[in-house]
Amino acid sequence: MVTLRRRTLKVLTLLVLFIFLTSFLLSYSHTTATTAWLPKQLVLELSERFRKLVAFSRRPCTCARCVGEQGVSAWFDERFNRSMQPLLTAKNAFLDEDTYSWWLTLQREKQPHDLNDTFKELFHVVPGNVDPLLAKKSVGCRRCAVVGNSGNLRESWYGPHIDSHDFVLRMNKAPTMGFEADVGSKTTHHFVYPESFRELAENVSMVLVPFKTLDLEWVVSATTTGTISHTYVPVPSKIKVRKDQILIYHPAFIKYVLDSWLQGHGRYPSTGILSVIFSLHVCDEVDLYGFGADSRGNWHHYWENNPSAGAFRKTGVHDGDFESNVTTTLASIHKIRIFKGR
């Protein structure tokens, strides 16, 4: 806030100086028409440069392109809600009735535990504040790589380019060991749900995407008693992730992604598109890798040869084609870049 006030004061000071200088130069050019060293072109040039300075001072970041910049695309501005908070914290642990009813239908929980009690148990175990790494404290340039799991990463040699980003977001069971040349080795945040969990390196933050109340209960159990070992499939009863590196994706943000960005296509968003929209809210510059089909049109994971790996496109749970259209549109308006690999 202090930084913003200083910037505003600086802009206002420059504006006053500019008005004074412009008034003086225009007056002087009228009274000394025969003098060549102060032409009106100079005033116009100063005016244009000042306009660019003011425009730059209003930008939300110092990157060559800023994801959150308004007025670039009406399509983007209609969908992007800056006030939405992507992470669940002790301060915003609340779901309105419509969101809660919708969330319960995602995986058809019949007798869920009381959500408020679950929230209390959750934040007795994991921190209830926003990840300090993700909290934007000042204007800068936060470059983020969102790495999907597509087979188009094979032989892409994107590894060093991915690792050059400030933050690297990965998801589900994606491995890096043995694939470093193509997918990189750096991970800062890994998005999972209980059924897609994999053990993470010590310095990696886990972002749990909860699709049901049991997912939140699982986090408590997996870091304490280990009593939950099965949801609709077997899940790890204990995990090694440090409690202070566990973050929770806000259920209301999931609904926001479905309503605003996917326009209701699919039953609920995939982890991939949830990671992409999350990055729009916490990053200044976003690059996507490993999304979509490979060069042969196959949807599969880079670490396996599984012809049914892209079956979710046909189940009706996720609308993979519409999600792909969203990322393609974001790239077309220069909000993100997509690296398509092979």
Any idea which residues carry the catalytic annotation?
A: 268, 318
What is the radius of gyration, based on Cα positions, of the chain? 24
Q: Is 107 one of the annotated binding-site residues?
A: yes
Write down the residue that tokens 């995407």 correspond to.
Answer: 209
Task: Give the SS3 label for residue 210.
Answer: coil
Q: Is 301 one of the annotated binding-site residues?
A: yes
Q: Is 268 one of the annotated binding-site residues?
A: yes
- Which residues, 6+ apart, have CB-to-CB distance to 310 below 8 Å? 293, 298, 299, 300, 320
The answer to whether the CB of 326 falls within 8 A of the CB of 261 is yes
CA dihedral 151, 156, 161, 167 (to 10 degrees): 0
- Which residues, 6+ apart, have CB-to-CB distance to 5 below 8 Å? none
> Could you please report the per-residue DSSP string of 34-101?
T-SSS-HHHHHHHHHHHHHHHHHHTSS-SSSS-TT-SSS-HHHHHH--TT--SB--SSS----HHHHH
Neighbour tally for 128: CB within 10 Å: 17
Q: How many residues does the chain have?
A: 342
Q: Is 68 one of the annotated binding-site residues?
A: no
Write down the residue that tokens 């802009």 correspond to.
Answer: 11
Calpha distance 56→293 (Å, rounded): 38
Q: Is 341 one of the annotated binding-site residues?
A: no
Q: Is 292 one of the annotated binding-site residues?
A: yes
Q: Is 172 one of the annotated binding-site residues?
A: yes
Calpha distance 67→303 (Å, rounded): 31
The answer to whether the CB of 278 falls within 8 A of the CB of 144 is no
Give the residue ranges of the annotated binding site for substrate. Answer: 107, 149, 172, 232, 268, 272, 292, 301, 318
